[in-house]
Amino acid sequence: AACPPPARRVMVAARALLFWALVYSYCGVCACIAGLRLLWSIGRRPGETFRWVVRENPPACLNDPSLGTHCYVRIKDSGLRFHYVAAGERGKPLMLLLHGFPEFWYSWRHQLREFKSEYRVVALDLRGYGETDAPPHKENYKLDCLIADIKDILESLGYNKCVLIGHDWGGMIAWLVAICYPEVVTKLIVVNFPHPSVFTEYILRHPSQLIKSGYYFFFQMPWFPEFMFTLNDFKVLKSLFTSQATGIGRKGCRLTAEDIEAYLYVFSQPGALTGPINHYRTIFSCLPLQHHEVIMPTLLLWGERDAFMEVEMAEITRIYVKNHFRLTILSEASHWLQQDQPDIVNKLIWTFLKEETKRK
């Protein structure tokens, strides 16, 4: 192909420079805000600020036999060992569940119990999370690696297709798997994450969403985000699920003390936060997408009281799905939808799965 004219090259370079200036400038702003919060915490409670308790023994809920069996699989290409919890008989159709941040397989506990009657339900610990291997370098967490993980795991489990369900960051990965490997996804279900193209276009045009996604920029920094999570014995982690601003609402199925302890057990281990945050550290070099369309039946579930994602992106997602698309917005639900309203979410998923089976 012929080289673009000089004017076009200058314009492309200028746009790239402006984009990265925005990224690093906002990263600096987020770091300053985090630094001020750190100083405020030290001033108020200096003895408590740096307290960090490593939980040595998992709470009983993580070994609840009703949730399934803990399993491991090693991927040939990457050599990484993945941890997952599986429920339901082998040989049944596969339902693969991808969690968000800061979560792990346990966020799908309600779905593991619900769908094991008709599916082999597999709740995965994504690369870098929980008991799954965590490569040390951020380059190992590029989107193409994360997408390849899912396809390779599918094959390692002995399947060539699945019902794919993702929440939050797991929703981003689920969208990308459906775009890049449509032959392996029979039905796509995403919880509280828009089509990636919608997200990248919307965030640049709506400052309110840019602010809500500030953690994407803050996570570009080395080590400091992990450090901030550990303060006050992981106060940030606890408040994400329990506070009035970001947590599960009054009408939701609140996390029990044991549920919270399960999250603290996983993320309090030394180095346990670096892999999860590394997922975000290459995001700006991987987007926007070259291919956009999703061609399989798709269900998008959305908690309207999401503190991190504006609901307007849910409806815009429709234009990228070239098949049956169903959107359900739950007005009283939070970002943690499958934990917040598990009965309603499970019913909506069942309806979608059976409806599409009848259509075929």
Residues marked as catalytic = 168, 280, 335
HEC-encoded secondary structure of 261-306:
HHHHHHHCCCCCCHHHHHCCCCHHHHCCCCCCCECCCEEEEEECCC
CA distance 269 to 274: 11
Distance, CA of 47 to CA of 78 (rounded, Å): 43
The structure tokens listed for 321 are: 């799905």
Q: What's the CA gap between 141 and 297, in Å, rounded? A: 28
Beta carbons of 138 and 282 less than 8 angstroms apart? yes
CA 356/CA 360 separation, integer angstroms: 6
With beta carbons less than 8 A apart as the criterion, state whether 132 and 81 touch.
yes
Count Cα atoms within 13 angstroms, Cβ side, for 316. Answer: 16
Helix axes 6-44, 224-242, angle to 10 degrees: 70
* Cα distance between residue 95 and residue 120, in whole Å: 6
- The number of beta carbons lying within 10 Å of the beta carbon of residue 222 is 11
- Between CA 183 and CA 295 the distance in angstroms is 10
Residue 259 DSSP label: H
Task: Check: CB of residue 124 under 8 Å from CB of residue 130.
Answer: no
Tokens of 224: 């400091």
Which residue, among 283, 67, 311, 333, has the nearest Cα to 173 in the 3D structure? 283
Beta strand pairing call for 81-87 and 94-98: unpaired
